[in-house]
Amino acid sequence: MGILDTLTNLLSSPAAKGVEGQLESAVIPAVLGEVLGNGNQGGLSAIVAKLQQAGFGDQVKSWIGNGQNIPITADELQQVLGSEKVKELAARFNIPVDQLSKILAQQLPTAVDSASPHGSLPHTA
């Protein structure tokens, strides 16, 4: 099972549907897919490296390791990804920028955690 399959399963659960009721559960995996590597961001490893370089190493380490995930805010994530990238994704998927940033900040830790069940990212991430 690939990361997008994992994300689709996670995001189609009843708990995830309450995150932002206005969004279709099919849109969230597509947006995360763009951020995590189906787009030009370079994949999960590249996003993790960007976050670490931006000073969010403790958060990333908690997502990859066992235990509780340290959250990241929507503003922090938007800084790392770049405002233009977030605006581009929001426009492409017809989602308000602030709502998209909030959802990404809520879902990215879970996505990284799910992609690293043994405490390390897969080599293909």
125 falls within a domain: no
| Residue 120 lies inside a defined structural domain of this protein | no
Q: What is the domain count for the chain?
A: 1
Here the tokens at position 48 are: 């993790």
* Residue labelled with tokens 């969230």: 28
| Contact by Cβ (8 Å): 25, 12 | yes
pLDDT tens per residue across all 125 residues of the chain: 444 454 455 545 544 444 444 454 556 677 777 776 654 445 778 888 889 999 999 999 999 888 899 999 999 998 988 888 889 888 888 888 888 888 889 888 988 888 888 788 766 55
Is residue 122 included in any domain, yes or no?
A: no
Q: What is the pLDDT of residue 95?
A: 84
User: What predicted TM-score, i.e. pTM, was given to this entire model?
Assistant: 0.70
The residue range of the domain holding 94 is 3-17+25-115
**Cα separation, 4 vs 50, whole angstroms:** 20
